[in-house]
């Protein structure tokens, strides 16, 4: 079936790239094959989502199976993943020629996108958990790629945090398997009052453990520390997909647990919902403050991801349809925007070697078009209308006000507004100082290195431009995304 090809073709291709050492000497063949596989993967995913279907891979017991089934939620995440992965992959063909071990990077990059497709297409909680763990192990080499002391430390931190989160989630899976038996996903949940009777206390604890455990990958406090450590040391295309896509693996896992296994009614009004909302708002505020204070460009963007992905988790924690629509749309918009920002960082690093924000003064003289694309993405992340970030944040705020969650109905929009101001504070100075560096700026380094007017090569610039323009156009024409999110919301509430 097509969905099997979408999962296993890039995995097999990645293994082949790692095995064929002769490809190292022919870069043109290597990059052509790499791009062709990514293009085929995007096409296969889109075709699989259009056709739908299900397949059982392996039956472990009478109630536990490994299998795939395509629904709207999994299809949305799979298409988003494959398209973003393709654009960042095209960017990497220009970026990685300035790095070492290019073949190794391409091999694992291909393997991870296949694993993510398997995670998105999972028909049940057990299958999703298997691919979730595989995602951690196969994406680790992307973090370790530089093999510096910092990269090894960040890789170990990524691994330890991920394993700790996964073990928390596994406890919940054991408990749910014991009381539910079949853990197949179903919109609205499969847990019935009869199943939970007499076990309500431990059930809530198990659900909370799963939210925190899977929330680790999404960068939710208190297990967020891996994200600002891992992103700056990875190659920029890997940082882009770590931030824009892999963090969303934690999001879809939380969605599957709350909305497709347990059911939102089980935790509505309980201490689990309250603590979940507290953690998400704390993460939103903390991530924004840390990003505002950070001076290293990629680390600033990483802290921004900590904040922005918790916008999504906050919308989900409200257990309210409009907030759910805002959360799902922000998944898409943030992925597009943040990949544009990290790919911009990669272009700057390759073109100038600059990694710190204060070094970017006068960047508009070197890369005026690239900086313009960055500005579009930055305005969208801040939430300036009509860019995409405004649309999702509008629905998140409206959902919070209508949620009936007491103080959180007001605290949520207030924190989102404060975060938006901080986002402007850490993104817009790059644009302002890039185009208007001030009278005291002599531009001597730009002249000495003959950098003026040197935009990145097309393989780098085009993906940045596509993502930046998409961050604007998706806000101008959000109808299809909102209708899809609303259709999903109708099935889970």
Q: pLDDT tens across 281-327, in order?
A: 999 999 999 999 999 999 999 999 999 999 999 999 999 999 999 99
Q: What's the whole-number mean pLDDT along residues 207-234? A: 91
Q: What share of the chain is helix, strand, coil (3-state, %, to 5)?
A: 80, 5, 20
The Cα–Cα gap between 474 and 469 comes to: 8
Q: Which of 177, 182, 191, 189 is nearest to 56 (CA)?
A: 182
* Per-residue b or e along 302-324, where b marks 16 or more CB atoms closer than 10 Å to that residue's CB: bbbbbbbbbbbbbbbbbbbbbbb
Is 0.85 surpassed by the pTM of this model?
A: yes
**Secondary element (H or E) of residue 375:** helix 368-382
For the cut 80, the answer to whether the pLDDT of residue 442 exceeds it is no
Q: How confident is the model at residue 24 (pLDDT cuts 50, 70, 90)?
A: low
The Cα–Cα gap between 363 and 432 comes to: 10
Query: In this structure, is residue 198 part of a structural domain?
Result: no
Q: What's the whole-number mean pLDDT along residues 424-442? A: 91
Query: In this structure, is residue 477 part of a structural domain?
Result: yes
Count of domains for the chain: 1
Q: How many CA atoms lie within 13 A of 437 on its CB side?
A: 17
The Cα–Cα gap between 313 and 310 comes to: 5
Q: Each residue of 26-39: pLDDT tens digit? A: 888 889 999 999 99
The Cα–Cα gap between 183 and 331 comes to: 25
Predicted pLDDT of residue 452: 77
For the cut 90, the answer to whether the pLDDT of residue 25 exceeds it is no
> What's the domain range around 291?
268-493
Query: In this structure, is residue 377 part of a structural domain?
Result: yes
Query: In this structure, is residue 187 part of a structural domain?
Result: no
* Per-residue b or e along 65-81, where b marks 16 or more CB atoms closer than 10 Å to that residue's CB: bbbbbbbbbbbbbbbbb
Percent of the chain whose predicted confidence (pLDDT) is above 70: 99
Predicted pLDDT of residue 147: 84
Query: In this structure, is residue 14 part of a structural domain?
Result: no
Q: What's the whole-number mean pLDDT along residues 358-377? A: 94
**3-state class (DSSP) for residue 183:** coil
Q: Each residue of 78-91: pLDDT tens digit? A: 999 999 999 999 99
- Measured between its terminal Cα atoms, the distance across the chain in Å is 31
Q: What's the whole-number mean pLDDT along residues 351-362? A: 91
Query: In this structure, is residue 340 part of a structural domain?
Result: yes
**3-state class (DSSP) for residue 67:** strand
Q: Each residue of 95-104: pLDDT tens digit? A: 998 888 889 9
Q: Each residue of 48-71: pLDDT tens digit? A: 999 998 898 888 777 778 899 999
Query: In this structure, is residue 2 part of a structural domain?
Result: no
Backbone angle region of 88, left / alpha / beta, with phi > 0 → left and psi within -120 to 50 → alpha: alpha
Q: Each residue of 163-217: pLDDT tens digit? A: 999 999 999 999 998 888 788 999 999 988 888 788 889 999 999 999 999 999 9
Query: In this structure, is residue 235 part of a structural domain?
Result: no
Are the C-beta atoms of residues 107 and 17 closer than 8 Å to each other?
yes
Lowest-pLDDT range of 9-13, 114-118, 227-231: 227-231
For residue 114, what are the contacts with CB-CB under 8 A and spacing of at least 6?
6, 7, 8, 9, 10, 11, 14, 41
Predicted pLDDT of residue 23: 67
């Amino acid at each position: 079936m097509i969905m099997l090809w979408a999962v296993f073709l890039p995995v097999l291709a990645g293994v082949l790239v790692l095995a064929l050492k002769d490809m190292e000497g022919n870069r043109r063949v290597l990059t052509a094959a790499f791009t062709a596989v990514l293009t085929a993967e995007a096409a296969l995913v889109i075709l699989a989502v259009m056709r739908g279907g299900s397949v059982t891979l392996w039956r472990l017991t009478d109630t536990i199976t490994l299998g795939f089934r395509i629904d709207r939620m999994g299809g949305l995440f799979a298409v988003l993943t494959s398209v973003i992965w393709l654009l960042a992959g095209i960017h990497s063909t220009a970026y990685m020629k300035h790095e070492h071990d290019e073949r190794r990077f391409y091999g694992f990059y291909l393997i991870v996108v296949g694993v993510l497709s398997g995670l998105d297409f999972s028909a049940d909680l057990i299958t999703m958990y298997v691919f979730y763990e595989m995602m951690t192990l196969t994406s680790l080499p992307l973090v370790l790629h530089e093999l510096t002391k910092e990269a090894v430390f960040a890789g170990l931190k990524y691994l330890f945090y991920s394993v700790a989160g996964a073990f928390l989630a596994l406890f919940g899976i054991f408990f749910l398997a014991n009381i539910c038996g079949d853990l197949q996903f179903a919109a609205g949940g499969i847990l019935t009052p009869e199943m939970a009777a007499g076990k309500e206390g431990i059930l809530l604890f198990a659900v909370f453990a799963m939210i925190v455990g899977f929330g680790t990958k999404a960068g939710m406090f208190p297990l967020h520390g891996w994200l600002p450590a891992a992103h700056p040391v990875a190659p920029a295309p890997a940082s882009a997909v770590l931030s824009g896509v892999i963090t969303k693996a934690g999001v879809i896992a939380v969605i599957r647990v709350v909305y497709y296994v347990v059911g939102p009614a089980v935790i509505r009004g309980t201490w689990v919902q309250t603590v979940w909302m507290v953690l998400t708002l704390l993460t939103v505020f903390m991530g924004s403050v840390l990003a505002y204070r950070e001076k290293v460009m990629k680390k600033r963007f990483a802290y921004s991801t900590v904040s922005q992905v918790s916008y999504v988790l906050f919308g989900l924690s409200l257990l309210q349809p409009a907030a759910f629509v805002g959360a799902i749309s922000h998944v898409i918009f943030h992925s597009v925007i943040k990949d544009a920002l990290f790919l911009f960082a990669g272009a700057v690093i390759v073109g100038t070697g600059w990694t710190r924000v204060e070094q970017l003064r006068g960047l508009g003289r070197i890369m005026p078009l690239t900086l313009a694309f960055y500005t579009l993405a930055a305005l969208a992340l801040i939430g300036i209308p009509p860019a995409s970030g405004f649309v999702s944040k509008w629905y998140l705020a409206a959902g919070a006000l209508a949620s009936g969650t007491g103080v959180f109905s007001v605290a949520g929009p207030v924190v989102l507004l404060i975060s938006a101001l901080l986002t402007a504070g850490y993104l817009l100075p790059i644009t302002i100082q890039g185009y208007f560096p001030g009278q005291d700026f002599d531009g001597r380094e730009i002249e000495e290195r003959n950098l003026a007017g040197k935009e990145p090569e097309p393989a780098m610039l085009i993906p940045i431009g596509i993502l930046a323009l998409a961050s604007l156009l998706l806000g101008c024409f959000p109808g299809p995304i909102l209708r899809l999110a609303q259709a999903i919301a109708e099935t889970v509430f």
